[in-house]
Amino acid sequence: MTKARVIETNEGIQSEVTAASFDVFARWMRDKGWNGVEDMIASGIRPGELLEIGPGPGYVGLELAKKLGVRTLTACEISPAMIALAEKNAAEYGIPARYVQGNAMEMPFADGSFDCVVSNGSLHEWEDPVLVFDEIHRALRPGGRYCVTDMRRDVAAWKTWLIYAGTRPKEMRPGFLSSLHAAYTAPEISEILRRSRLRGAEVKADFFGLCISGTKA
C-alpha cells in the first residue's frame, strides 16, 4: 500500500548553507542525467522563449538552453538564496538568464509570454498545484509546450534505497526522503490535472518519477 502524502514545504530552500549543499546535489543529478532534461526534450520542449518554475540552482533550464539554443531563459523562484546560486551558475554557463523571485501560484508574467514552460523537482512543494497548472496555461502562448517532472511516492522500496544510498552529498539524504514522501502518484496528479486548465496533459510514470506534458490549445 502506498503511504499517505506528507507535505514538505512551500517556501523552497531559504538557508544559504542548505542551498549550497543542494547546489552540489543538483550538479550531481545533472552529471548523472537524472534531472529530467532528456525527458523534457523528448516531450517536445523546443527552442524559443523558455520559462522554468522552481529552478533551484538553475541547472535544468541552463542545460535545456545549452542543448536546444533557446532564445531567452526566464525562471520564477521563491528562494533568494537559490536565485543567487542560479545567477552564478548562469554566468558560468555563459547563458543570459533572468531569475525572478515569485510564487508559482501567481507569477509576475503577462499572459502568453512563453513558448515553453518546464519544471523539475518542485511539483511536490507547490501549495496548490491546480493554481500552478492554471498559471502555466496562462503564461503559455497558443501551441506552447509544457513539461513538469518530479519524483513519485509509490516507487518500490528497493528503488528508494538505491537512490538514497547513492545520493551525494550525504547531508542531502534526509531531504531526499522528505521530498519523496511529499511527492504525488500518477493517479493523484491526474485527478489534480482534471481540475485545472491542463486537463488534457499526458501523465507518464517511469522508473522513479512522473512526467507531465502537453500542448496549450
The set of residues, in sequence order, having a beta carbon less than 8 Å from that of 125 and lying 6+ positions away, is 8, 9, 10, 12, 54, 182
Write down the pLDDT at residue 163: 81
Write down the pLDDT at residue 170: 84
Ramachandran assignment for 201, one of left (phi > 0), alpha (psi -120 to 50 degrees), beta (any other):
beta
Write down the pLDDT at residue 1: 63
Per-residue pLDDT of the chain (217 residues; tens, 9 = 90+): 677 878 776 555 555 557 888 899 999 899 999 899 999 999 999 999 999 999 999 999 999 999 999 989 999 999 999 999 999 999 999 999 999 999 999 999 999 999 999 999 999 999 999 999 999 999 999 999 999 999 999 988 888 788 878 787 788 888 888 998 999 999 999 999 999 999 999 999 998 899 999 999 9
Write down the pLDDT at residue 16: 55
The answer to whether residues 19 and 26 touch, using CB atoms and an 8 Å cutoff, is no
Write down the pLDDT at residue 11: 56
Q: What is the pTM of this model?
A: 0.91
Grid coordinates of 122? 518542485
Distance CA 67, CA 216 (A): 23
The answer to whether residues 141 and 112 touch, using CB atoms and an 8 Å cutoff, is yes
Q: Which domains does the chain have, with CATH numbers?
A: 16-212 (3.40.50.150)
Write down the pLDDT at residue 120: 97
Grid coordinates of 147? 513539461
Distance CA 154, CA 157 (A): 9
Write down the pLDDT at residue 167: 81
Q: Is 169 helix (H, G, I), strand (E, B) or coil?
A: coil
End-to-end Cα spacing for the chain = 37
